[in-house]
Amino acid sequence: MNNSKKLDDSTGYIEFAVKPLGEADLREVKYVRELYNRAVSVSTSSSENARSGINHLVIRILSHLIKFMKHKLAKSLTIKSSILKIFWRLPFSARQAILEAWAPKVNSFKGTKISYSFDIGIGIPTSSDPLVSLIIPVHNNWYTTLDCLRALIKNTDATKYEIIVVDDASTDQTPEALDVIRGIRVIRVAKNVGYLKATNLGAKFSNAKYLVLLNNDTEPVSGWLDSLVEVLEEREDVAIAGSALIYPDGLLQEAGSQIFSNGNAWNLGRNQDPRGDEFRFTREVDYCSAASIIVRRAFWEEINGFDERYQPAYCEDSDLCLQAWSKGYKVVYVPTSWVIHYEGVSHGNSVNSGIKKYQVENNEKLKSKWQDTLKNHWNDNGLPRIEYQRDSKGIVILLDRQLPSSTRDAGSIRTIQLIRHIQDKGFHVILSAMDNSTSEYDVEYLRKSGVEVHLNEARLMDNIKLRSSRIRYVWISRAEVFKHYFPEIQKVAPHADYIADLVDLDYKVISDGNIEISSLQLEVIKSANQVVLVSEVEKELLSSHRELHKEIKVLWAEYEPSPRNPEWHNANGLIFVGGFRHLPNLEGLTWFASEVLPELRKAGFLDRVNVIGSGLTLEQKALLTEKGLSLLGRQENLEEFYLQSRIAILPLLNGRGLKGKMGEALSYGIPVVTTLIGAEGFNFKDEVLIATTVKEWVDAIVKVYNDEKIWRDLQQAGLNYARLNLSTRAFGEKLDALVGDSHGL
């Protein structure tokens, strides 16, 4: 059914919908069939005069084809099939005549024979219950619009969406062509009102949660919409997110934009490679071009859409984003949303004529409206800031041996925690490593979190040369990594504060009671501004070294205490968590299963011993299962397993440094029985039970397992230790001593 509504005295609009077929429509079908029969008979005649009559019949057939396709045929598969059968049985010359009559000649292809495909009557898989409304204002340039719609058919993925095309009084074939495209809503404006008002009008028809403003001279790439929606679904603080706009030749047109304090704007990344690592992370920007942006509809309605002072076009998108910032929202660039933009197709490229001339005029309006706000923007010093936060304090470069994986090891988790805390302090993180062998998922996770991950060392060095003045700290984990990077990077950023994160101390105790530290670590310690270890014990050893006079700081990992802890009456059995590619885990668990567990069974312990972790061979699984362990493999969520277990065991016989599994167990509030190796570096008093012999292990487990008071005392002591030493707050306070406003530049 047709719906119409008067907007005001000067501008009207109509929303077109599909009419049901009636008796008159069926009569028209019969008439077209008769025309078809006449066309076939004429085409097979040998008479030149008869063949010359084809053009006349073609036009008559065309008029009726259009009439049927217009509003009526979209929902009727039977009639559509009949029309297509008629069309395809026509001679080729007749089919070409129909299509060429429908599609006028394009000036840029003058002198070239154009072959048109019969997909004018395309259908787009839109939703009646959309999450997103795509608002596409159009004025003429039908084939540009058609290319955009074709791209949407091919390249819009899981998100449910609708398309609202605002036909801004087009005078070419746009109105007729839009009428036969199934799945879209067309808003037709009686008088040309310009891009700004047309967009505001289209948004009034949306009931979706989000609006996407999309130019008709764009071709979205697969996944573009899902990536935009994901950001707004995950982050309530973001009101607007923009795509990476790509030139047809594959170079960047825009990776978000910056507005300097003098009101001048800069398209970040213009004419650069969109696959460059510096353009592949999510980040805050002053604004994104409305050629492709997603906007929360609630925010859009709060500010009444585009400010009409910028009518008919230009600077309305900059103003929209500045309004978002002024109301406490954020605007972000989404590098995984790619949209090809044929810049200048709609409005040309000259600022001296046409609508484009309003670009200069409206920029002055923007400066005037936001003059107080712009005083706090960056100075136009020729150095755009491509950093995660719009008000970033500077850059921290983090270099490691291998890129981290959130599921691989405790060291990776520590690195990810370190990155997050540095970001929370207001710094931008650039991450690189000697070894890039981590999963693509982990790399993209970091980039979505705003981390600038560089996968090529040479390109990293070239890039940071241009941004040297912004580098505050260079944090390098492990001595061999420090030696690899330091000579070259110090030339680029000699003013930066260099932090040597040794992780574990490489030493041995010599006969006179002193320690001998590896020559490589000594060399690194002397070169660095600050030195970090993960253990208080190793800090004391290093501080006592007679040749070293430098303050050592300790920073291990964050294990925030869980709000849910095991309850005595609901928990039973033992639990071990650890990856078995780390040989001390396999060695320790095999010893426990072979030596301790049989004696434990004799003492009356009959409950399960659950083992969580990957990396066991088939032979190892068979052996440990035979010895009575329950192997559960890798588990994504450990919380329920810890809540259902009464004691965590860490039977480690070898290894050095603090153990992530210890911190994890304490944070969940589960009592722990371990060895001296398992407790190494923690400076425990009575927070865990430490056993060395088989008998001590059996006695400790039986005592804790069967005495509720002892169990609860251990649980509380472990949780208190975690709150004081392993919590998010404790980690942040320790990091403050290394990275803060009083350090670096």
Predicted pLDDT at 201: 92
Both 78 and 40 in one domain: the answer is yes
- pLDDT of 596 above 70: yes
Average pLDDT over all residues of the chain: 84
Helices (H), 576-707: 583-591, 597-602, 618-626, 639-643, 660-668, 676-679, 694-706
Tokens for 535, please give them: 């253990």
What is the Cα–Cα distance from 415 to 196, expressed in whole angstroms?
Answer: 46
Q: Domain tally for the chain?
A: 4
- Those residues with Cβ within 8 angstroms of residue 39's Cβ, 6 or more apart along the chain or in another chain: 54, 57, 58, 61, 90, 94
- pLDDT of 407 above 80: no
Predicted pLDDT at 571: 94
What is the Cα–Cα distance from 200 to 8, expressed in whole angstroms?
Answer: 14
What is the Cα–Cα distance from 630 to 650, expressed in whole angstroms?
Answer: 16
Both 163 and 232 in one domain: the answer is yes
Task: Give 308's DSSP letter.
Answer: G
- Mean local confidence (pLDDT), 576-605: 93
Look up the CATH number of the domain holding residue 454: 3.40.50.11930
Neighbours of 677 (CB within 10 A): 20
Both 549 and 453 in one domain: the answer is yes
Query: 596 lies in a domain?
Result: yes
Predicted pLDDT at 30: 52
Query: 561 lies in a domain?
Result: no
Both 328 and 445 in one domain: the answer is no
Q: Using one digit for the tens of pLDDT, what is the confidence trace for 330-357?
A: 999 999 999 999 986 655 554 455 566 7
Neighbours of 507 (CB within 10 A): 17
Both 412 and 500 in one domain: the answer is yes
Predicted pLDDT at 85: 62
In this structure, are residues 378 and 264 in contact, taking their beta carbons and an 8 Å threshold? no
What is the Cα–Cα distance from 516 to 522, expressed in whole angstroms?
Answer: 10
- pLDDT of 12 above 50: no
Neighbours of 158 (CB within 10 A): 9
Domain C-terminal end among 554, 576, 595: 554
- pLDDT of 43 above 60: no
Task: Give 562's DSSP letter.
Answer: P
User: Which is nearest to 120 in space by CA: 38, 175, 46, 45?
Assistant: 175
Look up the CATH number of the domain holding residue 312: 3.90.550.10
Query: 386 lies in a domain?
Result: no
Both 88 and 165 in one domain: the answer is no
- pLDDT of 727 above 70: yes
Domain C-terminal end among 554, 587, 609: 554
Q: Using one digit for the tens of pLDDT, what is the confidence trace for 172-225?
A: 888 888 877 878 888 888 889 999 999 999 999 998 999 999 999 999 999 999
Strand bridging mode 210-214 / 185-189: unpaired
Both 168 and 308 in one domain: the answer is yes
Residues in the chain: 745
Strand, coil or helix: 482: helix
Predicted pLDDT at 378: 85
Both 596 and 540 in one domain: the answer is no
Q: Using one digit for the tens of pLDDT, what is the confidence trace for 517-565?
A: 889 999 999 999 999 998 888 888 887 776 666 788 999 999 999 999 9
pLDDT band at 79 (very low <50, low <70, confident <90, very high): low
What is the Cα–Cα distance from 80 to 58, expressed in whole angstroms?
Answer: 18
pLDDT band at 359 (very low <50, low <70, confident <90, very high): confident
Q: Which residue has the higher pLDDT, 663 or 88?
A: 663
User: Which is nearest to 528 in space by CA: 499, 550, 555?
Assistant: 499
Residue 265 Cα distances to 239, 242, 319, 324, 591, angstroms: 21, 16, 12, 17, 66
Residues spanned by the domain of 515: 395-554
Predicted pLDDT at 657: 77
Query: 54 lies in a domain?
Result: yes
Predicted pLDDT at 176: 83
- pLDDT of 260 above 70: yes
pLDDT band at 71 (very low <50, low <70, confident <90, very high): very low
Look up the CATH number of the domain holding residue 654: 3.40.50.2000
Query: 166 lies in a domain?
Result: yes
Of all residues in the chain, what percent carry a pLDDT higher than 90? 60
Predicted pLDDT at 167: 92
Both 220 and 187 in one domain: the answer is yes
Both 148 and 181 in one domain: the answer is yes
Both 330 and 470 in one domain: the answer is no
The overall longest dimension of the chain from CA atoms, in Å, is: 118
Query: 6 lies in a domain?
Result: no
Predicted pLDDT at 208: 96
Predicted pLDDT at 23: 47
Q: Is the dihedral of CA 139, 143, 147, 149 positive or negative?
A: positive
Both 581 and 715 in one domain: the answer is yes
Query: 404 lies in a domain?
Result: yes
In which region does residue 354 sit, left (phi positive, over 0), alpha (psi from -120 to 50) or beta (all else)? Answer: left
In this structure, are residues 705 and 672 in contact, taking their beta carbons and an 8 Å threshold? no
Across-strand partners of 501?
477, 532
Tokens for 57, please give them: 């019949």
Strand bridging mode 161-168 / 132-138: parallel
Query: 170 lies in a domain?
Result: yes
Neighbours of 24 (CB within 10 A): 8
- pLDDT of 130 above 50: yes
Q: Using one digit for the tens of pLDDT, what is the confidence trace for 662-718?
A: 999 999 999 999 999 999 888 898 999 999 999 999 999 999 999 999 999 999 999
Tokens for 180, please give them: 């036969």
